Structure 1
Amino acid sequence: MRILLALIGGLSLMTSMATGEYPSPAELPSHPALPDPLVMFDGSRVATAEEWSEKRRPELKALFEQYVYGRYPQVAGSSQPPAVQSKVLFEDPQAFGGAGTLKEVELTLGPPEWPKIYLLIATPNNKTPAACFVGMNFGGNHLLVDDERVHVPETWMPDRYTGVVDNRATDASRGVEEYTWPLAEIVARGYAAATFHCGDIQPDRPHVREGMRATLPEDADDAAETATIMWWAWGIQRAIDYLATDPAIDPARIAAVGHSRLGKTALLAGAFDERIALTVANQAGCGGSGPSRHHEPKAETVEIITRNFPHWFCANFRKFADDPTRLPVDQNCLVALCAPRAVLFTAAEDDRWANPSGQFAVLRAASPAYELLGVDGLKADAMPAADAPLLGDGRLGFWFRAGEHSMTPKDWKVYLDFADRQWK
């Protein structure tokens, strides 16, 4: 009977999707286990790479848009992203003791009143074009280098960040968080890095139509309106639009990286953009690398995250707070959307809130999609001990370290080691 109900529910869902309509969360059937990424909602199994590409992958993307992150942005009524215009604000070819070049580029995404991205780029001088890690930072580029030329964000910012006064950043904190993006060490390893403040695209506060959210018409009843994490992921993709034109960057070796909520963002960007060859989700937790369905009593839940941060996800996601088993997708399906491209999850012993064991289970449950596409996923059967990274020969890696919720140079060493293994 349970199988029959699941099939009926799946057929109903497929019919609704075909007409552009979706069942409400309350109408979806319960599935306690992590969804099989290779099983369509009509119950049929995906057996070939062509079926995955033509049927299951588009279906999964549509479901994440409808029930978790909101629709992929269609700004100005167009399904095509706006053309990105660039202006180099400064360029220093003798940065990092002469080992690299540091520059900041202003990216214009549309009309003058739209937000602009201030992209800080570090590249090695002796290895171009270089593989590049791209991602957002929390407090502004000026925190990452002690350089008066670097732009200080002008948008609203939480007071908890270093140097913020009355919800505005100040230049008093230049260089105080260099450890979160250790640019000199990244360049010394032969890699490039590109980062910008998440608030350039969308300030991290609810209930205010600002940033890119302000470019869309307001619809209070739209339960799948583009939410903040989807906007941020879209912003990373616009940065990649520029990086793909920079002769110092290898567009075939782009890695998206982020910590915590920005790790959720990096994973979503990697799932939706096949130009991203490697994704690093650092301690990304619920709604990111951690499953919505889980049994870790100390981990954040759908109910808690949607209550505390309602703007990160679309309104539909909150409707699964009481019963996440009704979600037609889970985070293993988001990782599967990255297949056959590489993904690295990180976790920490003292960060149970981000659900380390659940993150490991997500990688294992995503592996069938990788195997279908002819590559190895996660080859390990059990979680590793702390500080023993699983980088292996597969496309999925796991780094579990001692310590707390943070992004450190120690983590970056593992990111770079993983990239070395993937790109030889």
Structure 2
Amino acid sequence: MKQKIILSFLLQLAILPACFAQQSNEAAVGYHLPDVMRTQSGKVINTVAGWEKTRRPEITALFEKNVQGKTPVKNIPLRYVPLSVSRNALNGTATRKQVRVYFSGDDKYYMDILLYLPNSKNKPVPMFLGLNFGGNQSVNADTGILISERWVKYAPEPAYKNHFATAASRGTQSNDWCVEKIIAAGYGLATVYYGDLQPDSANSVNAGVAPLFYRKGQKEPAADEWGAIGVWAWCLSRALDYMETDKDIDSKRVTVMGHSRLGKTALWAGAQDKRFALVISNNSGEGGAAITRRKYGETIAVMNKAFPHWFCGNFKKYNDKEDELPVDFHELIALIAPRPVYIASASEDQWADPLGEYLSGWYATPVYALYGLKGLNTPVPPDINQPVGDGTIGYHIRKGVHAITPYDWDQYIRFANRFFSK
């Protein structure tokens, strides 16, 4: 079975040029990818053991050195402080919890987790976990949610004043989260404001948690140490640490998800932390799901110049030199195997390279085949609003712009149901 899947994959590589020709809105794009199944020494990997013991650690190390940077291994003692609990939230359909997680004894470093759990289901429940852009109060109009006191990058008035949230920010991003839809489907939702861990601005690293990990005399991360994406991914794992202590949550069935730069973050968190049972990338683009060697839409140079704090210092060596990067982002998807992964694009989001996002799942398929699992069937992406998700890799391209919508959530819930309904 595994051999048939891999043979089918190799045969279909021949139709890739035709696939590209069909992309009438794109210039011709040619590239040569690193072989996910071949080590840097040239050895071909054809077993699960070879993948897990040799190739997977090699790819992980390459991403750590050249892209996201290494995540510190120092253990930080976590302290969980309940802030509030309401058993009658969302018109009685949900329990709302708010928990502060302290990372230091002086209370300087912390993050706030907002959780909604369905009251209609027996506990423990499966969860969706993701970072949000505007503070926890932005995900729903529920007046019981504490308003974030952290600086916010994109802060239109009157919801934000001088980059800090006001009461008018409540529910301003509710369309991104569809809390009631998630609860009605029997899932819980947990979210953290990404600015709790590091502000999303250049030269912001010392305003986040990174100094907790510095060596004596160190003033900033080294060139191969984490950028903001790594910090935010670390936050997601710490939220999962908390969920392992909450008896209302099934911590073995937690889906990590994210949109745009936080989709990049979710992929890196899922690649590093095997405790996440399912991983979702929504419009993550360059530095996320999209294949960088296509050089279509956003590029490494454009991203690093606009957002120099996202990735490690070494990543800047590859500005306008994508072909010299020793990895590409189909390998980031492959690091998630054998766990399910879902990649989503939007038709008007060409900056994120929808075809490149799809192809990353296609080129990761041979690794899933090692485990006897189905990935994507073809290098030709589906039509708009025609999701494919009968394997362990799911995908859709939705009509519309760079966003996360109720349509996206319908696909994520349906995909999760396949793996978590038993």
Cα separation, 2, equivalents of 1:223 and 1:47: 34
| Corresponding residue SS for 2:182 | helix
Cα separation, 2, equivalents of 1:95 and 1:166: 31
Cα separation, 1, equivalents of 2:156 and 2:255: 26
Query: Which residue in the other structure is 1:308 paired with?
Result: 306
Which residue identity lines up with residue 33 of structure 2 in the other structure?
Answer: L
Q: C-alpha deviations, 1:312-359, integer Å up to 9, x for none?
A: 011111111121111111111111110000111110110000100001
Structure 2: which 5+ residue stretches go unaligned? 1-29
Cα separation, 1, equivalents of 2:62 and 2:106: 33
Structure 1: which 5+ residue stretches go unaligned? 1-30
Matched, 1:407 2:414: no
Q: C-alpha deviations, 1:171-206, integer Å up to 9, x for none?
A: 221122211111111000001110010001111011
Change (3 A) 1:124 1:220: closer
Cα separation, 2, equivalents of 1:352 and 1:371: 30
Cα separation, 2, equivalents of 1:205 and 1:342: 32
Query: Which residue in the other structure is 1:268 paired with?
Result: 268
| Corresponding residue SS for 2:310 | coil
Cα separation, 2, equivalents of 1:351 and 1:103: 35
Query: Which residue in the other structure is 1:367 paired with?
Result: 365
Which residue identity lines up with residue 210 of structure 2 in the other structure?
Answer: R
Which residue identity lines up with residue 388 of structure 2 in the other structure?
Answer: L
Post-superposition offset of 1:214: 2.9
State how 1:277-296 maps to structure 2 within 5 Å. Answer: 277-296=277-296
Query: Which residue in the other structure is 2:245 paired with?
Result: 245
- Residue number among 74, 96, 101 corresponding to 1:102 in the alignment: 96
Query: Which residue in the other structure is 1:50 paired with?
Result: 49
- Residue number among 133, 137, 141 corresponding to 2:128 in the alignment: 133
Post-superposition offset of 1:291: 1.4
Q: State TM-score, norm by structure 2.
A: 0.88
Query: Which residue in the other structure is 1:151 paired with?
Result: 146
Matched, 1:196 2:182: no
Cα separation, 1, equivalents of 2:382 and 2:142: 40
Cα separation, 1, equivalents of 2:132 and 2:221: 31
Matched, 1:160 2:159: no
Matched, 1:327 2:339: no
Change (3 A) 1:351 1:251: same
Query: Which residue in the other structure is 2:341 paired with?
Result: 343
Which residue identity lines up with residue 71 of structure 2 in the other structure?
Answer: Y
Which residue identity lines up with residue 362 of structure 2 in the other structure?
Answer: R
Q: CA RMSD in A?
A: 1.7
Q: State TM-score, norm by structure 1.
A: 0.88
Which residue identity lines up with residue 412 of structure 1 in the other structure?
Answer: W
Which residue identity lines up with residue 384 of structure 2 in the other structure?
Answer: A
Cα separation, 2, equivalents of 1:71 and 1:181: 30
Aligned 8 A contact 1:47 1:372 in 2: yes
Matched, 1:420 2:414: no
Post-superposition offset of 1:157: 1.8
Cα separation, 2, equivalents of 1:161 and 1:383: 36
Aligned 8 A contact 2:72 2:213 in 1: no
Post-superposition offset of 1:52: 1.3
Aligned 8 A contact 1:367 1:376 in 2: yes
Cα separation, 2, equivalents of 1:311 and 1:359: 23
Post-superposition offset of 1:115: 2.0
| Corresponding residue SS for 1:194 | strand
Post-superposition offset of 1:301: 0.5
Which residue identity lines up with residue 42 of structure 1 in the other structure?
Answer: S
Query: Which residue in the other structure is 1:229 paired with?
Result: 229
Aligned 8 A contact 2:210 2:221 in 1: no
Aligned 8 A contact 1:106 1:118 in 2: yes
Identity %: 38
- Residue number among 56, 66, 87 corresponding to 1:93 in the alignment: 87
